Chain A
Amino acid sequence: MTGLRVLAEARWPEPGRHDPLPPIPGFTTSSFNPLVAETAERCLRAHHGTAPAPGRTALLLASAGGDRATARAIDEAAASGQRVPPLLFFQSNPNAVLGHIAARWGLTGPVVAISPADAVPGRVPQDALDLAALLLADGDADQVLVIAAEQADGTDRAAAVLVTAG
């Protein structure tokens, strides 16, 4: 992690714990957004304690697969001629859950989502760390919260790391 200093880390699930993901009001159907939000929450809490976070923090979501459950639900509804549940419109966009986190913690830095090529569930990919370093060096953020989340059948995994220039 050249050029980066780690301020806090979090992961889901935590070893030895099997508690359910807390739901987010307004998000349905898929575990992806609760997975992202809870992992981000734990990482921010580990460093800041309580909201808001000071300074300009960027949010960077890295997910190779994205929110597959929401994408599938939209495609199936559209293909069958059914009306798409309105809430899926908002949450089909990877920025939406980042907006939830940003509003709760007062994060005013860039809001970015990427689909990395090489993603190991539960680990933050190098592509995301490279981009975090670029955002910090370029001066639009003082800290970057990187969240890597992958949704697979029954094995959702996420990792988050809060970094600053090292």
Chain B
Amino acid sequence: MTGHAPPAVRPVVTGVGVLSAAGTGLDALVDAAAHGKTAFTTVTRFDVSARRTTRAALLAEPVPLAGAVLTAVDQACRQAGLPTTGDTGGEDGDRRATDRGHRPTTAPDGTPVLLALHSDLNTRAVTAAVAAGAAAAWDIAGVTRVYTGACVAAGTAVADAAALVASGRHHRVLVAAGHLVEPGVFAAFDAGRALARDGELRPFSAGRTGTLLGDAAAAVIVEAEPQAERRGAPVLARLAGWGRAGDAHHVCRPEPTGDGVARAVVAALARGGVAPAEVGYVNANGTGSPLADRAEASALHRVFGAHTGRLPVSSSKAVHGHALEASALLELAVTIGALRDGRLPVNAGWLGPDPDVGLDLVLDGPRTGRPRYALTLNSAFGGANTALLVAAR
């Protein structure tokens, strides 16, 4: 008994907001991904001279983290046609943290706000600033829950948002996330030898040496399909399925056969009532890590069997970098944009085939495609895995 039946109420996405190294808005990001235009540059916002790797994907202009998140929230709310108070605050967010702060609450219309952030000494202050900014601009009364589960934090938040809508508990959920490259995390990733020594993120490629970090903020409005239709909101995509599963394997190493990833994907497909052969694109986790990419490829072979040879796969991290807690939301946005535009993200940085991978990687762009269903996958330390199944409109 897995309990992964298709939902009674179908969750859809009615608004997407993005701020990334590719620029402001979803169009800039999707265009960069479709052309494989990478955004990595030498880090100058802090001293990286003592680090083995000096590159990351950075926003053109530095902004406070809460301000970046609020900018993404603003884009998403406007696209979804939600009413504004007229004070969209934006980059002033960090300066407007008030004692309203982070209280477990929901918006006046009952809309929960799920926020994914890095767990550090600033988490509460950033949450308070996001809550204050969202209250001023959108009359949202606070942040309901903060997810700190590393690279699946936002993926878990989206899955939970979909579950809240599908079960009829809420008509609408706002999911937001943000990560900006900063000295502590950069130094820790460098010390852990997780960053690419050659300064390029090469998912699934021969010769890959690690990941590169990226700035990003993203927001999506998840809404019940009947409500979205009633109020005439734009339906950008449907969250057809979702899955969360653990490896039960190691503190930080992935289970080599990709068992946990595979179970998350199977759960997502079961919820969507979708057969593996119906999936036409996978936005893979693909961090550029030698071990993790191999495990993820193994998972795809396990789930998709012979269909794997005809299944386009890419990791858009090769373009926008690894945004850690925000990565799953950023990559959901990329996937929604790819389905909308019919252009698949390019797996940039590729040097040649890794015989242990064996995937149909999207190596040149723009590559057109009109898949009906796409998956976006994320994995994290602790063996955490999430899978989101997105249906085109």
Q: Could you tell me the distance in whole angstroms from the C-beta of B98 to the nearest C-beta in chain A?
A: 15
| CB <8 Å contact, B153 and A113 | yes
Stretch at the interface among A9-17, A42-50, A59-67: A59-67
B380 close to A (CB within 8 Å): yes
Interface residues on B, range: 35 or more
A35 shortest CB reach to chain B, Å = 15
Hey, which chain A residues are within 8 Å of B167, CB to CB? 137-138
**Across the interface, do B246 and A71 meet the contact criterion of CB distance under 8 Å?**
no
B156 contacts A112, C-beta separation under 8 Å: yes
Closest beta carbon of chain B to A34's beta carbon, Å: 13
**In the complex, A95→B186 CA distance in Å?**
18
List CB contacts (< 8 Å) of A30-74 with chain B: 58-59, 63-64, 66-68, 71-72, 74
B113 to chain A, nearest CB (A): 12
Instruction: Give 1 or 0 for each of B352-381: 1 = CB within 8 Å of chain A CB.
Output: 000000000000000000000000000011
B183 on the A face (CB < 8 A): yes
Q: Is residue B47 within 8 Å, beta carbon to beta carbon, of the partner chain? A: yes
A97 to B145, CA, bound (A): 21
Known contacts A71-B121, A79-B183: A111-B384 contact under CB 8 Å: yes
Among A67, A100, A110, chain B packs the most CB atoms within 10 A around the CB of A110
Q: What chain A residues lie within 8 Å of B208 (beta carbons)? A: none
Residues of chain A lying within 8 A (CB to CB) of residue B121: 68, 71-72, 75
Cβ-defined contact, B146 with A115, below 8 A:
yes
The proximity string for B residues 106-147 relative to A, scoring 1 for CB distances below 8 Å and 0 otherwise, is 000000000001011101100100000000000000010111
Partner of B248 from the list A107, A139, A140 (CB cut-off 8 Å) is: A107
Query: Within the assembled complex, what's the spacing in Å between the Cα atoms of A140 and B245?
Result: 7
Q: List 29 A-B contacts (CB under 8 A).
A: A67-B119, A68-B121, A71-B120, A78-B183, A78-B188, A79-B183, A84-B184, A84-B191, A86-B193, A89-B192, A90-B381, A99-B250, A103-B249, A108-B247, A109-B244, A109-B245, A111-B149, A111-B246, A111-B380, A112-B156, A113-B153, A115-B123, A115-B124, A117-B146, A127-B145, A134-B160, A139-B2, A139-B4, A139-B5
Residues on A facing B (Cβ under 8 Å): 26, 58-59, 63-64, 66-68, 71-72, 74-75, 77-79, 81, 83-86, 88-90, 92-100, 102-103, 105-118, 126-127, 131, 134-135, 137-140
